Amino acid sequence: MNNVTAEQNDDGSVTIHFGGDPDQPNFIYTPEGWNYTVWLYQPREPIIDGSYQFPEAQPVE
C-alpha cells in the first residue's frame, strides 16, 4: 500500500486490513508469522527525532 494505491477513508486516513476478509479495501494477505515494515522516502522531523511512533496493529472484531 502507498499514498497512490491505498483506498482512503472519508476523513483521509487509510485503514490497512492485514488478513481477514479479502473483500475489504486495502487487504494484505498475512501468512502465519507475518510482520510489516513502514518505508518512508521523505520522513518529517517527528519521525526522524522519534517523537512520532506508528500505532501498533490492532485486531478488528
Which domain, by its residues, includes 25?
1-60
Q: What is the pLDDT of residues 10-42, one digit of tens each?
A: 999 998 898 889 999 999 999 998 888 888 889
CA–CA gap between residue 35 and residue 20 (Å, rounded): 15
Q: Which three cell numbers stand for residue 30?
A: 498475512
The pLDDT assigned to 34 comes to 87
Bridge partners, 18 (sequence order): 28
Number of domains the chain is built from: 1
- Pick the closest to residue 35 from 14, 12, 54, 51 (CA basis): 54
DSSP-assigned letters across all residues of 35-58: ------SS--HHHHTTS--PPPP-
